[in-house]
Amino acid sequence: MAKLNLALLGGFQARLEAGAALVLPTRKSQALLAYLALPSGQSHPRDKLAALLWGGIREESARASLRQALFSLRRALGEDASAVLRQEGDLVALNPVAVEVDVANFESAVALETTESLVRAVDLYCGDLLAGLGVDETPFEEWLIGERERLRELALEALAKLLASQRRAGATAAAVGTALRLLTLDPLQEAVHRTLMRLYADLGRRGAALRQYQQCVTVLQRELGTAPEAETKQLYQEILQRRPSVAIVETMEDVRIDEASASPGMLVGRDAELGTLRALLDEATAGSVRMVALVGDAGIGKSRLANALTAAARARRARAIVGRCYENERMLPFAPWIDAFRSARLTPDDADLRVLEPVWRAELARLLPELAPPDLLHSDDRTRLFEAVSRLVEALAVRRPLVILLEDVHWADDASMGLLGYVRRHLHGARVLIAVTARAEELAETAVVRQALEDLQDQQRLVKLALAPLDRKDTLALVHATARTGSDPSTWERLGEDIWTASEGNPFMVVETIRALEQGAGGAVPHPLPLPEKVRHVISRRVERLGHHARELTVVAAVIGRAFDFPVLQQAAGLGEADAAAAVEELVRRRVLHGVGERFDFTHDRIREVAYDALLMPRRRLLHRRVAEAIEAFVGVDRDPHALALARHYREAGVWDKAVASFRQAGAYAMARAGYREAVACLELALEALGHVAGGRETTEIAVDVRLELRTALYPLGEFGRTLAYLREAQPLAEQLHDDRRLGRVSAYLCVALRRLGDFEGAIEAGERTLSRAAAIDDLPLQVATTLYLAQALWFSGAGHRAVEVFRRNVTALTSDQLRQRFGTPGYPGVFSMTDMATVLAERGELDEAKSIGAQGLAVAEELAHPFTTIAACLAMASVSIAAGEFAEAITRLERARSLCDGGDFPVQRVSMLARLGYAYVRSGRLVDGLALLEGAAEHVDRIDGFWRPTLLGWLSEGYLLAGRVEDAAQVADRAQTLTPGNAPNVRASMLRLGAEVASHGAQADVERAAGLYREAAVLADALDLRLLRAHCHLGLGRLYRSAGDPGGRAELSAAVDAFRSMGVAYWLSIAQSELLSA
């Protein structure tokens, strides 16, 4: 005999023992079966059953409907119908032997009262009896409501007993789950909230305990309009005063979103947006990487939607990590990413991290030092860091889907946006959803952030959700949803129109107005005022209603300016632990602050803004100083990540010497992470602060050093004009100090800046002067760097032979260890000496040595994993390959450089890379791809220095010639000629040959003019010993003469063949030989 299994708790499911689901055609037939099963074996008269489920129709019809339902039931049961369903005369019942019902099992388990039986009972209770089964019959509904309440009370009793049993047994982790289940059934049990807070605290999960209090505050306020009991407040304060444990890893429940934020009632008028977010989450969960940007004005509801997204993710057992950007941390590289990953509480032993190879864990330690042991070494390569983060994201999404939320990216640093784009472009098939929020009005002022988001949107890698204000209907609905339970509806009906007019549909303004009115801080809604003033007015009134200590902590927290730790807040406020804890409890209860992990932050930036603006300047300065001192005491020796915050506070406090030191430290921290723009901003603020420090030798020394540090940060950005200006300022200061070492460094950097700006003579003079000074004071780092700079200036000036000699000094004199030292420069001078020397040798036709020395330099660069140096080495070796006609090899080098440029902030090198790659593509037959890259590079030709601009345009002109676009080639060649520096004869020689190439093409080829230009270029190439260029002039002249029927063509082509053969240039040799055979 097959047994019928009925699961009625949480829904309706009937299944025969064999596994087949029992399909009943109507809800009433399901309701009939459920009624007969509670309890099984009890007989019911047919009249009673008919009245229960068909009471609204005539008796005959009701009995007919009952007969039809019983027939449907017997048919569904099939051959087991007689064993399961008993019909004796007018009575109907289920055979208790043939039927198993989860309700009966649940009741039996509760009655046993053992820990094991209670666990079984709790597992069986999957929800309300027959949840979702609605039957529009009053007798049945009355019975169902009664049974539901009885079973719910029984479930609460079981959970309470199980919770007590688990606590007695010390099963704290299991007790947490039980308490959460209990609060799901009855969230108003304040005693259970307290129990759960204690359990979390016992587990060391202090942040979860503090958040549980917030949830308690929210539900009591919303449902009962009351505050927590004194015992609950006291418990919160006691937990708050405990020091957080850094060794505890949060579980998913630890980071549940604040109920107030996730409450559906508070997300009014956003159904469409929520639908889009849930659809994206579905797609990400299924294995498609997705990204969404929530964009709108301040207070429009971006964070609430984002919180709803993370709550939905966690409900699906996904992991959600959250990072936030702050206005005063724009100069801190990767700050939101660091926050996000730290919100996941990863440790070196985390299972998700163990799948990563040590090399990637070492790279991650640049952002999160706690994730790798100190013996693992990382590189300075930003691309490797980006790749490590990308791999970490993939690893975190293996076991369960991952949602990454970065809030307020309108305040993001450039490095973070670069990482965001990289991660989005390089993730494939991972179960990841990336969400960002941004203020629309701020994006207009942040070009980098705006462009990054627009690029991702153009690439169809990002969905943008623009949030508009609520309309009148939704605003009024939000008013009623926000007002506390039990308040007079007529009051809010009357005030709703005023609030709609005043708020203009801004949800934050609506909520703040209601909170102010409920807390007795408001009267008539000030709707004639402009929106910012309305917000200020409402918030100010709320703050004024706070207790004395709570008001004090509000202004101190506003001065801190971002998420903060309780000890920092307490020390800066000068309060005892108990007073500070009581004040924080009040601020959380009144929704001024909320917990963010182990830390606290304002529930909205507008509250922080209003509180801060209300401070008078003298007190503001005092508090900034107290905050800085509190941060220093709290972080101890680990100052680097906090240097920017310290600098800002000391600056606002007028403690200028400490502000200078902290800004310099923040700049160095940024530069170590290739955050060059952020470093420049920090160092310029250091200079500004230094202007307030009393003069003296030490101040002057710092003034020189900061300007030299600025030069190092500006160089990779191609900001040569600004670099020169700072060096000009530093020079007289160094002379005033009579400090040869500082003067030497200034002079060496002047050599570079002057060369990049086209003053080769001035650069050579500065370089030679610096070398003499370096030798006199025996300063090896200065000698090495200046040797490189002088050789580069000589190369650019056309003195290639002498440049090679100077480069060779470094190449031959430096030891293997010294080749791997930076000597205080942005890159590695030994490597640059080798790769730049290779480029000059290639121009001179000494290709074998060029390839050999260049390959050595590139190998060292790759070993050092320093992106700036490696990109430069790849560019140099690509130039050698292009000179040799080895375009496939050049493309390999340039694709490597491209990957590095994509991962960092290298605008100058990026343009040079794209131009070379485009030319290599064109020469290898990929005309369309190559011309696209060359044209894109030409649009940004002003980013590179004047020496290279004509060459870049020359490659584009040659590409047009190969594509048959002679007129375009001529226009670009004319522009290149115009940009050719008068003091760069090697560039001029190349441009003369380019002019000859253009003149010799097309239907209207000017043979005489082309021949003259070839000859002029060849003479200049001979004078400069540019053998490769001279060979190309022979080849061009030979082609020109042959096409014009001039017998001199064979001689020129023969000279080209001999020249290319002597240099070992196989590609061009084969072309020259082919032309000679055709002559």
Are 275 and 281 in contact by the 8 Å Cβ rule? The answer is no
Per residue in 922-946, pLDDT (tens digit) is: 999 999 999 999 999 999 888 888 8
Asked if residue 39 has a cis previous peptide bond (ω within 30° of 0), the answer is yes
pLDDT confidence tier of residue 826, bands split at 50, 70 and 90: confident
Residue with tokens 């060359």: 934
Average pLDDT for residues 605-630, to the nearest whole number?
A: 92
**pLDDT for residue 195:** 94
Q: How far apart are CA 503 and CA 510, in angstroms?
A: 6
DSSP string, 356-379: S-HHHHHHHTTT-GGGS-TT----
Q: How far apart are CA 1027 and CA 1042, in angstroms?
A: 23
Pick from 705, 673, 675, 671: nearest CA to 687: 705
Pick from 38, 39, 40, 59: nearest CA to 48: 59
926 residue type, one letter: R
Structure tokens at 864: 């050092």
Pick from 386, 365, 388: nearest CA to 376: 365
The dotted CATH code for 1-170 is: 1.10.10.10
Sign of the CA dihedral 985, 989, 990, 995?
positive
Are 659 and 641 in contact by the 8 Å Cβ rule? The answer is no
Per residue in 700-729, pLDDT (tens digit) is: 999 999 999 999 899 888 888 999 999 999
227 residue type, one letter: A
Answer whether residue 529 shows pLDDT above 60. Answer: no
Answer whether residue 514 shows pLDDT above 80. Answer: no
Pick from 896, 947, 935, 890: nearest CA to 916: 890
**pLDDT for residue 486:** 57
Per residue in 55-103, pLDDT (tens digit) is: 888 888 999 999 999 999 998 888 888 888 998 888 999 999 999 999 9
Pick from 866, 884, 795, 799: nearest CA to 836: 795
Residue 249, SS3 per DSSP: coil
- Write the CB contacts of 476 (distance below 8 Å, at least 6 apart in sequence): 496, 497, 500
**pLDDT for residue 251:** 37
Answer whether residue 256 shows pLDDT above 50. Answer: no
Chosen CATH of 270-466 out of 3.30.2320.20, 3.40.50.300, 3.30.420.40, 3.40.50.2000: 3.40.50.300
Q: How far apart are CA 751 and CA 769, in angstroms?
A: 10
**pLDDT for residue 163:** 93
Are 21 and 15 in contact by the 8 Å Cβ rule? The answer is yes
952 residue type, one letter: L
pTM equals 0.69
Answer whether residue 240 shows pLDDT above 50. Answer: yes
**pLDDT for residue 487:** 63
Q: How far apart are CA 499 and CA 477, in angstroms?
A: 11
State residue 434 phi and psi, 5-degree precision: -105, 130
Furthest C-alpha separation in the chain: 125
Return the number of other C-beta atoms located less than 10 Å from residue 373's C-beta. Answer: 10
Per residue in 446-504, pLDDT (tens digit) is: 888 988 999 899 889 999 999 888 888 888 888 877 776 556 666 667 677 777 777 77
Pick from 308, 278, 298: nearest CA to 469: 298
Distance of alpha carbon 1017 from its chain centroid, rounded? 52
- Write the CB contacts of 94 (distance below 8 Å, at least 6 apart in sequence): 4, 33, 36, 37, 40, 41, 84, 85, 86
CA distances from 971 to 291, 918, 967 (A): 43, 19, 6
The residues of the chain that CATH labels 1.10.10.10 are: 1-170
State residue 465 phi and psi, 5-degree precision: -110, 110
DSSP string, 1008-1024: HHHHHHHHHHHHHHHHH
The residues of the chain that CATH labels 3.40.50.300 are: 270-466
Per residue in 153-170, pLDDT (tens digit) is: 999 999 999 999 999 999
pLDDT confidence tier of residue 522, bands split at 50, 70 and 90: very low
The 3 state secondary structure assigned to 802-816 is: HHHHHHHHHHHHCCH
Task: For Cα atoms 406, 409, 412, give the angle at the middle one, nearest 5 degrees.
Answer: 110
Pairing relation of β-strands 290-296 and 432-439? parallel
**pLDDT for residue 609:** 87
Q: How far apart are CA 438 and CA 420, in angstroms?
A: 14
Q: HSE-up of 826 (CA within 13 Å, CB side)?
A: 26
Q: How far apart are CA 253 and CA 314, in angstroms?
A: 9
Q: How far apart are CA 978 and CA 975, in angstroms?
A: 5
**pLDDT for residue 975:** 95
Return the number of other C-beta atoms located less than 10 Å from residue 496's C-beta. Answer: 21
CA distances from 1036 to 189, 552, 643, 1040 (A): 92, 82, 61, 6
